[in-house]
Copies of this chain bind each other. A is one copy, B any other.
Amino acid sequence: MRTKYNGLMSLVIAGSVAYDGVETPHGKVERMLGGACTYIALAASYFTPTSIVAIVGDDFDQEDVDLLAGRNINLDGLERAPGKTFFWEGVYSADMNDRTTLRTDLNVFADFNPKVPESYRDHPYLLLGNIQPALQRSVRAQMKSARLVGGDTMNYWINDFRAELLETLKEWDFLLINDSEARLLSGESNLRLAARKIVAMGPHTLVVKRGEHGALLFQKDRFFAVPGFLLDQVFDPTGAGDCFAGGFIGYLAQQGIDAASGSIDHNALRRAVIYGSVMGSFCCENFGVERFRTLTRGEIDSRFQEFKGFTEF
């Protein structure tokens, strides 16, 4: 299947572009391209025209620009500031279900004040990566005509910026978080009860990412669950959740599905969850963004069919 592009499907992604130092049981990389915005954009770029809003330092490598540009990602909103690019370093546990952050240097990201380029402002799709809720709101406010808006958050914002986050969520169609974040945000340990509370906070759709255990999709009266894709080897899970988000919104954008035209087709959301799962699984097959150097849309669609094959009964 060949992706057909048109302007109506354009997606804007705001978030972090970073360098990561990562150690997993399979090896160690001192410094590689990373950041939520990077992973989301790379994954979404297989589905729809994608533009980013992010900031990097003057150390940002041309080969990394080239990788993103090579996937036709619009970099008009990639601001360059004097100083160093956001740097994160972490190490994974033996089973890779936990990771410890060793270092977080915000660098130029500390003063990130996202400015959406004029050329993006009429784009209908908006994905807000995991950054401070006030910045997510600011981007949302600059894209008044967005017809489908969603994003990610994390425990730090849920705990310490709760009021700000709740205001932000009111303007979203969907929220993509993991199960511990869903429990923390709702105060409910049972995921079904947690989802009910979160759906009442604003987003009509909640996607709970569970890593190797798959994903759950909740709406007021609808529920969908998919198991995880079992890889022979998980090389590096960094960015898998962000690639899930990119596959999810990318597919919806490609299909031209948005919230402004009334209720969103629930079955399209189910397929978007599968494409999210597919993109997350590919991400884990190599370190960092390496898998995206060779990945093709054909491989993506094959794995979508594989999901059908191992879940049907």
Binding site for B on A (CB under 8 A): 94-95, 189-193, 210, 213-214, 216, 223-228, 230-234, 267, 270-271, 273-274, 307-308, 310-313
Question: Complex formed: what's the CA distance from A214 to B228 in Å?
Answer: 10
Smallest CB-CB A-B distances: 5 pairs = A225-B227, A270-B313, A213-B213, A192-B230, A227-B227
Which residues does chain B contribute within 8 Å of A95, judged by CB atoms? Answer: 189
A-B contact pairs, 28 of them (CB 8 A): A94-B189, A95-B189, A190-B232, A191-B230, A192-B230, A192-B231, A192-B232, A193-B232, A213-B213, A213-B214, A213-B227, A214-B227, A216-B227, A216-B230, A223-B310, A224-B313, A225-B227, A225-B230, A225-B311, A226-B227, A226-B311, A227-B227, A270-B312, A270-B313, A271-B313, A273-B313, A274-B313, A311-B313
- Identical copies in the complex: 2
Question: Complex formed: what's the CA distance from A116 to B267 in Å?
Answer: 52
A46 CB to closest chain B CB, in angstroms? 19
Q: A94-B189, A213-B227 are in contact. List 11 more A-B contacts (CB 8 A).
A: A190-B232, A210-B213, A213-B213, A213-B214, A214-B227, A223-B310, A225-B228, A225-B310, A226-B313, A307-B313, A312-B312
